[in-house]
Structure 1
């Protein structure tokens, strides 16, 4: 598992380099998908790097990527283990050039994320985790263990979406009371919880499974939880739709973050 995690981290860095080539160019090649979400040359370049790399590393494990997500559930439901990938999470932040975008690669087994890497190309920071191995942050060449804030702050630090703050989240934060809100793009919101810089990330809006799988593994191996509004862990590949239900990400299990 250690060697596989190392290989996936290297692959995520390679995808990040492909993204930065486009990021530093004058032509993002912005197009739009059927749901009107943006698609750039960087998304496609990172997709190709990751899919080719995964097929070389683990030829027997199928890959589901945001950029090749048209695999029917009739085929997917037989997958015991598969890779779930978002080549460029935070395309809107990429287009804005604010640096808050990531490469997400997760290994799913029986509906659970068991190994993952979240790489931040602009800062060259990587978060990696695997069941039975631990959770780590690599920054400026140094690798260190991270963990959630188990005893939440009296005035909790809440991380929210920079581009998708819903009315439901705003109502929830009103019920929560005193808090400090930090706006952030992509799966970096999960990572702030995982390393104890935030207490809570309430997501009461639409996401897709590739948006969350890699970061969920990071949070869970750091001691946190990612649960749906009925208190159950967020699971993968259990239904035809690839959309997630609403969920909460938190570190301190002694507080009831859901029923507020």
Structure 2
């Protein structure tokens, strides 16, 4: 439980660092891959890495040094972090960015924390707690208080309108094809647009039923949200139906689809 407690407090405190910069006149730089980065990304990354270092586990972070696969392939357990997921949303000041912290064991996320600093909503999951969410209404809450008072998230199958989560900044051809396929299967669908891992949070608390993406994410973008939806009773698979795994030779993800297992089967079978 110490791993989860530390991840929770780290995400909240990193969120405070991020919000101070969010409410200022910050500078946006462009990385080699043409994605934006700000001081908030870097300061939050440094803070989280410092907090997690007490466990002496390797850390893979979007903003940190990434070890070669020749070294990583021997890692059984490690942290996978995106200190500010949704930097484009941060820059556009729409509030849809998150702090993502996941623990991976044997290529599977076994713990996940996603914090949305603007709305102060915290989502987390582990074997001990299941998937839960909590509104952070005080800066003085302990991890024990949060865990004991958080709302348990359980899967609720879609019984009416199918709500599909779509990326605000990265609508791709795969997602468009998925939407069109769903139109042929379901009587009514609704498109729900959101940025970063907010979509995983919406999926975990049943605000949406389905979320799919093409080949435009990295492992740190999905790991924490993946953990939360898994413990909420949902599934995430590659867009060709294979298990979704982490610590691959390349840390870029293939396309994926996430939702209730029966729903995924219905869509994959096309009926």
Provide Cα deviations, 1:183-213, integer angstroms capped at 9, x if missing partner.
0000111111111111100112310000000
Matched with 1:243 is: 252
The correspondence for 1:46, drawn from 21, 41, 44, is: 44
2:141 paired with 1:131:
no
Instruction: Provide the C-alpha distance between the structure 2 equivalents of 1:23 and 1:229, rounded to a whole number of angstroms.
Output: 35
Q: Identify unmatched segments of 5+ residues in structure 1.
A: none
Q: 1:110 corresponds to which residue?
A: 106
Query: What is the count of residue pairs matched by the alignment?
Result: 254
Given the alignment, which residue of 64, 70, 73 partners 2:66? 70
Stretches of 4+ moved more than 3 A in 1?
A: none
Which has the larger displacement, 167-176 or 204-213?
Answer: 167-176
Q: Which of 163, 168, 176 is the equivalent residue of 2:169?
A: 163
* 2:151 counterpart (144, 149, 158): 144
Following the alignment from structure 1 to structure 2, what is the Cα–Cα distance between the partners of residues 54 and 39?
22
Distance 1:213 1:69, change over 3 A: farther
Q: By how many angstroms is 1:256 displaced?
A: 2.1
RMSD: 1.4
Measure, in 2, the Cα distance between the counterparts of 1:9 and 1:23: 21
Structure in which a larger fraction of residues adopt helix: 2
Contact 1:19–1:43 under 8 Å retained in 2: yes
- The CA deviation at 1:140 is 4.2
Give the superposition deviation at 1:69.
4.5
TM-score by structure 1 length? 0.93
Q: What is the rounded CA distance, in whole Å, between the counterparts of 2:180 and 2:3 in structure 1? A: 43
Query: How much has 1:230 moved relative to structure 2?
Result: 2.9
Cα deviations across residues 138-195 of structure 1 (Å, max 9, x unaligned)? 114452111232x213320001000000122112211211310000000111111111
Residue in 1 aligned with 2:225? Answer: 215
Instruction: Classify the secondary structure of the residue corresponding to 1:67.
Output: coil
Q: Work out the CA distance in 1 between the residues paired with 2:150 and 2:119.
A: 14
Instruction: Report the 3-state secondary structure (helix = DSSP H, G, I; strand = E; otherwise coil) of the residue aligned with 1:258.
Output: helix
**Contact 1:127 1:138 survives alignment (8 Å):** yes
Task: Say which SS state the counterpart of residue 222 (structure 2) adopts.
Answer: helix
Q: TM-score, normalised by structure 2?
A: 0.90
